[in-house]
Chain A
Amino acid sequence: GAGVSQSPSNKVTEKGKDVELRCDPISGHTALYWYRQSLGQGLEFLIYFQGNSAPDKSGLPSDRFSAERTGGSVSTLTIQRTQQEDSAVYLCASSLGGLNTEAFFGQGTRLTVV
């Protein structure tokens, strides 16, 4: 596709269940980012990939959160044993990497933990 694609667009899950969020970056983009945004709040950095490796995982809030990227393309963000405070919009962005490159965002996955 032409842009960054995220799925599902909406996810409602019960507390304690695991969820998996998917991001398809723009073809050829080596850099991929995950952010979280709670209602009315700013972007919270979660993790950054360059190719398949994640040089910066500093933003993952707990060990319940993990992410991987395969083939330098699709990335999945997994949240285990979801809690209500995990409810937010999870945004993925990709870029060519390097200096002066624009990051393009997907439309996000709205996660609601009930």
Chain B
Amino acid sequence: RKEVEQDPGPFNVPEGATVAFNCTYSNSASQSFFWYRQDCRKEPKLLMSVYSSGNEDGRFTAQLNRASQYISLLIRDSKLSDSATYLCVVNSQDASKIIFGSGTRLSIRP
């Protein structure tokens, strides 16, 4: 089983819609969680960290469910500029390194 798993998508949604992705992780002891965004032919960049109590940044909400070992990203009122690949990131079992999921591709249509 992969340490971090994501639905590859693509998710194709209309502008203004709400879209949510989940990401599951295998190590119950993981403590650090992030969402990264990668635009086409660009390097990944941090979108937001994920805190235990959940956190919000504008139209983006990240949540952590430790019991079920998944994190989620919710995007409200989606914009054309949100089209990208969203990568889930979790620290490794021995907390020595971070592990990237393979990403979920999102495409927003007008």
Residues on the A chain within 8 Å of B27, using CB: none
Closest 3 CB pairs of A and B: A42-B102, A105-B43, A48-B97
Apart from A42-B87, A55-B97, A99-B32: 9 A-B pairs, beta carbons within 8 A: A42-B8, A43-B87, A43-B102, A48-B97, A98-B95, A99-B91, A100-B49, A103-B89, A105-B44
Cβ of A43: which chain B residues have Cβ within 8 Å of it?
44, 87, 100, 102-103
In the complex, residue of chain B having the shortest beta-carbon distance to the beta carbon of A33: B97
Q: How many A-B residue pairs have CB under 8 A?
A: 54
Question: With a CB–CB cut-off of 8 A, which chain A residues contact B44?
Answer: 43, 91, 93, 105
Q: Footprint of B on A, CB under 8 Å?
A: 31, 33, 35, 41-43, 45, 48, 50, 55-56, 91, 93, 95, 97-108
Known A99-B91, A102-B46, A106-B43; judge A42-B101 contact (CB<8 A).
Answer: yes
> B residues bordering A, Cβ < 8 Å?
8, 31-32, 34, 42-46, 49, 87, 89, 91, 95-103
Partner of B43, one of A31, A41, A108: A108
- Alpha-carbon distance A98/B12, docked complex (angstroms): 36
* Chain A positions within 8 Å of B101 at CB level: 42
Q: Of A42, A95, A98, A102, which one neighbours B103 at CB under 8 angstroms?
A: A42
Q: Which residue of A lies closest to B34 (CB)?
A: A102
Asked if B49 contacts A105 (CB within 8 A), the reply is no
Contact assessment for A95 and B98 in the assembled complex, using a CB-CB cutoff below 8 Å: yes
With both chains docked as a complex, state the minimum distance between the C-beta of B73 and any C-beta of chain A, in angstroms: 16
What residues of chain B lie closer than 8 Å to A108, measured between beta carbons? Answer: 43
Task: Identify the closest chain A residue to B98 (Cβ).
Answer: A103
Q: How far is the CA of A31 from the CA of B103 in the complex (A)?
A: 22
Nearest-CB residue, chain B, relative to A43: B100
